[in-house]
Amino acid sequence: MELRDLKAFVTLGEVLHFGQAAVRQHVTQSALSKQIRRLEQELGGPLFERSANTTRLTVLGRALYQDACALIAQSEQLARTAREVLAGHSGTLRIGFGVATNILVPAALARFRATRPQVTIELNDLSTHHQLLALSDGKLDLGFCRLPAPKGWHALPVIEAHFVAVLPASYHAVGSLADLVDQPLAILRRDKAPSFYDHLMNYLAQSGLRFRDIQYVNDFAAGVATAAAEIAWTLVPSSTTIAHPDVLTLPLTEPEACWTIGLIRPPHSTGPLIEAFWQTVHDLVHR
């Protein structure tokens, strides 16, 4: 069954005049008649009763007319949706992000949706490791991850980050990590953020200091709470919200303690929506 034949049926069923229907369909009257006959043969019965002066729907025609109208409307909506998606004005965008971009991402989304309000955004709060897996598997379109990106991937640097030591308020005399080697240290479990954990362990190893009492927490907020309770001090990214009166902070800004967060995507992740969001983030960070 051809869609153009259904359109001919719907148009003729609306105007009930072969000449007018042919004009609307931009075909000759004989061509319209052939379309109707072809559809009637497929459906197994006549759709119209035609006399010298009138054309009207048969019982079969009346029974099928509303369903045919719905099918035509759905096909037209399908075409409109396709045009909107191809133009980057509709569709779904799947984005990964982490704690380092919890301010940048909302700002970028607000700017993006100001011109594309019909786009559906799916946000996924994931570590760099888990974002890379999802991007590789096609489960994410874009990700805000720790750089460098895998070889051959597209990358746009967006934020510089560094470690921050969060200390109990009673540690007011501490001036460097060397003053903390005998104090309990709480760090994020590796399975929660492998890239962060590995960088942190490498940084501590390069410092030459031995931290003997290491505990593990499930998130950065728990680490801050642990410091506030004077159970242990902790190390978190500079983007972590640290709004507690019972802690002190010690920024660590030497090169080994710093890293870059970028917007990344694999080579197969392309399309007008992805390109548009990429440009939005570029304009935001380079304004």
If pLDDT is split at 50, 70 and 90, which confidence band does 51 have?
confident
Q: Are residues 227 and 210 in the same domain?
A: yes
In contact, 67 and 124? CB cutoff 8 Å: no
Q: Are residues 102 and 72 in the same domain?
A: no
If pLDDT is split at 50, 70 and 90, which confidence band does 37 have?
very high
Q: Which residues contact 218 (CB under 8 A, 6 or more apart)?
A: 188, 189, 192
pTM score: 0.69
Q: Are residues 206 and 78 in the same domain?
A: no
Instruction: Identify which of 272, 287, 14, 270 has the alpha carbon closest to the alpha carbon of residue 142.
Output: 270
Q: Are residues 81 and 99 in the same domain?
A: no
What six digits make up the tokens of 149?
A: 């990106």
Q: Are residues 170 and 151 in the same domain?
A: no
Task: Mark which of 55, 86, 117 sits at the end of a domain.
Answer: 86
Per the structure, the complete domain to which residue 140 belongs is given by 91-157+260-285
pLDDT of 100: 85
Q: Are residues 222 and 237 in the same domain?
A: yes
Question: What does the alpha-carbon distance between residue 222 and residue 228 come to, in Å, rounded to a whole number?
Answer: 10
Q: Are residues 10 and 133 in the same domain?
A: no
Q: Which residues contact 279 (CB under 8 A, 6 or more apart)?
A: none
Q: What rounded mean pLDDT belongs to the chain? A: 92
- Domain count of the fold of the chain: 3
Q: What is the DSSP letter of 138?
A: T
pLDDT, tens only, 208-241: 999 989 999 999 999 999 999 999 999 999 999 8
pLDDT of 52: 79
The more confident residue out of 76 and 144 is 144
Q: Are residues 246 and 170 in the same domain?
A: yes
Question: What does the alpha-carbon distance between residue 98 and residue 151 come to, in Å, rounded to a whole number?
Answer: 21
Percent of residues, the chain, with pLDDT higher than 90: 80
Q: Are residues 73 and 124 in the same domain?
A: no
Percent of residues, the chain, with pLDDT higher than 70: 100
pLDDT, tens only, 142-175: 999 999 999 999 999 999 999 999 999 999 999 9
pLDDT of 204: 94
Task: Identify each DSSP E strand in the chain by its residue range.
Answer: 48-50, 55-57, 91-97, 119-125, 142-146, 154-168, 185-188, 214-217, 233-237, 247-252, 258-265
Q: Are residues 181 and 246 in the same domain?
A: yes
Instruction: Identify which of 209, 241, 207 has the alpha carbon closest to the alpha carbon of residue 223.
Output: 241
Q: Are residues 196 and 80 in the same domain?
A: no
Q: Are residues 138 and 179 in the same domain?
A: no
